[in-house]
């Protein structure tokens, strides 16, 4: 039986990893200390998801561990045999990073280094997949020439028709402190791959979403938006006329790519992973889509000032991923994803 370590197992991607690899017959150790509740309060709590995983998956073992604790990370890695690591734990918010810079950097950068070095010491041939972010590009994507449409911004430069490629620059732009800490982790994952010849991969995610997301205002775009719609809660739009665009990828499609990478790993790879152009949507367009599903009008207010470092339009170019792993493609379109999140929140809100 193959064995996997996943960090952030109570979160969106981590819990999808548990479900997917359990179905494949893997044994899974899930590292999580519910720090999302510390970051975002009761609404960000993921203990419900952790308990669900323990109850539903016999091959899953919860490990209460803080990835910032270097000695405990090393001790744990020394105690087990494993075949792969998926690192999905993070402090994920731009805004929160500015108010808690030490916590942000310690989780995102130092925690990643702790895991990489533990892996190098005890099992350097194990595949290491890191959930990075498109925020490593900072706000440089905003320099791309755009055109304003009725309900969205879009690229007005032919070379970006299919989105942003992995060779887009990552420096000389405003990242937010969160983006900067994720750059540090991203580069370190690449460096361990190149310097130590380890099979590593950075997945620079766009908007990752799905029904197991504990979305809050500071993180979890679609999940939080749909929750606000169902509750009749006022949603705040931060600048750009509500026309800012994100490409959204369902957590299942993210994990499915991870599985393909683990089967045929490469050294120090980087991929922009998102929904691509077909799964891109603006805030105003998202209001329309969830309204067509729920039958409820979106209540919102518009604030002129955008979030620092926020993208006006971001679409991932998936061509590199698809060329390296021809068996992989997007399987969940936006209407399907919206419906799943709608159904999940409807069930939770009835409890």
Q: What is the DSSP string of 268-316?
A: SEEEEES-TGGGEEEHHHHHHHHHHHH--PPPEEEESSPPTT--SEE-B
What is the mean pLDDT of the segment spanning 155-168? 97
Percent of the chain's residues with pLDDT above 90: 89
What's the topology of domain 3-350? Rossmann fold (3.40.50)
pLDDT at 220: 73
What is the mean pLDDT of the segment spanning 41-55? 91
- State how beta strands 127-133 and 27-31 pair: unpaired
Least confidently predicted of 138-142, 188-192, 209-213, 234-238: 209-213
On the 0-12 / 13-18 / 19+ scale of CB atoms within 10 A, 195 is exposed
pLDDT at 218: 61
What is the mean pLDDT of the segment spanning 274-289? 97
Q: In 3-state terms, what secondary structure has residue 317?
A: coil
- State how beta strands 313-314 and 127-133 pair: unpaired
The structure tokens listed for 195 are 């310097």
Break the chain into its structural domains and give their ranges.
3-350
90-133 confidence digits (pLDDT tens): 998 888 999 999 999 999 999 999 999 999 999 999 999 999 99
The structure tokens listed for 122 are 């005890």
Longest Cα–Cα distance of the chain, Å, equals: 57
pLDDT at 319 over 70: yes
Rg (CA), the chain: 19
Predicted TM-score (pTM) of the model is 0.95
pLDDT at 259: 98
Q: Which of 273, 216, 284, 270 is nearest to 247 (CA)?
A: 273
70-85 confidence digits (pLDDT tens): 999 999 999 999 999 9
Least confidently predicted of 108-112, 224-228, 306-310: 306-310
The structure tokens listed for 274 are 């998102």
Least confidently predicted of 26-35, 218-227, 248-257: 218-227
Q: What is the overall mean pLDDT for the chain?
A: 95
């Amino acid at each position: 039986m193959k064995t996997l370590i996943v960090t952030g197992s109570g979160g969106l991607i981590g819990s999808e990893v548990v479900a997917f690899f359990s179905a494949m017959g893997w044994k899974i150790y899930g590292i999580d200390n519910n720090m999302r509740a510390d970051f975002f309060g009761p609404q960000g709590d993921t203990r419900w998801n952790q308990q669900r995983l323990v109850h539903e998956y016999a091959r899953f073992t919860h490990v209460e561990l803080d990835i910032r604790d270097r000695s405990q990370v090393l001790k744990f890695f020394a105690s087990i045999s494993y075949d792969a690591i998926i690192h999905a734990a993070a402090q994920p918010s731009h805004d929160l990073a500015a108010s808690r810079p030490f916590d942000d950097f310690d989780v995102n950068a130092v925690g990643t280094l702790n895991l990489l070095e533990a892996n190098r010491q005890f099992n350097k041939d194990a595949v290491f997949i890191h959930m990075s972010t498109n925020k490593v590009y900072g706000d440089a994507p905003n320099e791309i020439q755009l055109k304003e449409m009725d309900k969205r911004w879009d690229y007005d430069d032919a070379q970006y028709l299919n989105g942003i490629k992995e060779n887009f620059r990552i420096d000389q732009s405003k990242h937010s402190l969160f983006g900067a800490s994720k750059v540090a982790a991203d580069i370190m994952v690449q460096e361990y791959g190149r310097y130590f010849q380890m099979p590593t991969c950075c997945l620079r995610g766009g908007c990752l979403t799905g029904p197991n997301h504990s979305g809050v205002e500071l993180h979890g775009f679609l999940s939080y938006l749909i929750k606000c719609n169902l509750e009749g809660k006022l949603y705040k739009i931060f600048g750009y006329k509500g026309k800012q665009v994100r490409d959204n990828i369902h957590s299942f499609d993210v994990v499915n790519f991870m599985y393909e990478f683990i089967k045929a790993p490469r050294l120090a790879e980087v991929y922009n992973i998102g929904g691509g152009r077909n799964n891109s949507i603006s805030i105003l367009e998202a209001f329309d889509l969830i309204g067509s599903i729920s039958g409820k009008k979106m209540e919102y207010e518009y604030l002129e000032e955008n979030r620092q470092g926020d993208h006006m339009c971001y679409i991932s170019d998936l061509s590199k991923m698809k060329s390296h792993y021809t068996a992989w493609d997007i399987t969940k379109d936006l209407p399907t994803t919206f419906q799943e999140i709608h159904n999940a929140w409807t069930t939770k809100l009835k409890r």
